[in-house]
Amino acid sequence: MRAIIAGGAVLSYHLGKALISKGYSVSVINPSETDCAWLAERLKGVIVRGDASDPSILDDAGAGQVDLLLALTASDAANLVMCQLARQRFGVPRVIALANDPANAELFPRLGITDVVSLTQSIAVMIERQVGFDEVISQLPLAGGQIVVTEIRLTGSSPCLGRSVHELDLPSQSLIGSVVRGSAAIIPRGAFRLEAGDRVLLLASPDDLGPALRALTGETP
């Protein structure tokens, strides 16, 4: 598998390293000579200096042969254009765009770029996770951050222990999608009672996530 990464040097380096460790050949595109030299010293990949929304630079980075393009620059316009060029001109099968402006996370799918990472949403979710809730194990924003899937381990102090799902005061835009108890994965109905040690998969809108987490964990971040 081959991938092109266009974005800031530090982000490109760490993502590049992660992809290389998964067996990818990686090309990084960066406009700065200093950044390119820094990357070339550290990363076992091809470093191309230039503007990644320029078709000839994409070509130099091997866009004709890659399986994946990650457009992660600070310019949403550049990210959109390089994804569209990669698709239309080079036939890259998978393109992922960073949307720095949350409004573009909604716009890009309407312009044919369906895989969008919303920076603001992702960071907001991660910060919420860091500052609060010890019981949260992992979190995944979906659909441009409109839905957040959160994995929570219920401890002995959770206020919801022994209560059934329908007795919980969960906000309307939240739902317990699944509970993992021991090795069993359960899709809980209203009468299902929660126990300490349960791993709960919560689906919630960003607005209702906080109240739903408080109902499940009893914590106030």
Using CB under 8 A, list all residues that contact another protein. 53-56, 75-78, 80-81, 84-85, 88-89, 101, 103-104, 107, 110-111
**What six digits make up the tokens of 24?**
């990818």
- Nearest distance from residue 176's CB to another protein, in Å? 34
- Nearest distance from residue 81's CB to another protein, in Å? 4
How long is the chain? 221
For another protein, which is the closer residue by CB, 110 or 189? 110
Answer yes or no: are the C-beta atoms of 3 and 70 closer than 8 Å: yes
> How many other CB atoms are there within 10 angstroms of residue 80's CB atom?
22
- Nearest distance from residue 149's CB to another protein, in Å? 27
- Nearest distance from residue 55's CB to another protein, in Å? 4
For another protein, which is the closer residue by CB, 112 or 197? 112
- Nearest distance from residue 112's CB to another protein, in Å? 8
CA distance to 26, 27, 70, 181, per residue, from 39 (Å): 12, 11, 16, 45
For another protein, which is the closer residue by CB, 55 or 132? 55
Contacts made by residues 7-12, CB under 8 angstroms, sequence distance 24+:
7/70, 7/71, 7/72, 7/73, 7/98, 8/35, 8/72, 8/73, 8/74, 9/35, 9/38, 9/39, 11/72, 12/39, 12/43, 12/72
- Nearest distance from residue 143's CB to another protein, in Å? 18
Structural element, H or E, at residue 12: helix 9-21
For another protein, which is the closer residue by CB, 71 or 201? 71
**What six digits make up the tokens of 140?**
């995944």
State how far the Cα of 205 lies from the Cα of 170, in Å rounded to an integer: 12
For another protein, which is the closer residue by CB, 76 or 135? 76
For another protein, which is the closer residue by CB, 72 or 78? 78
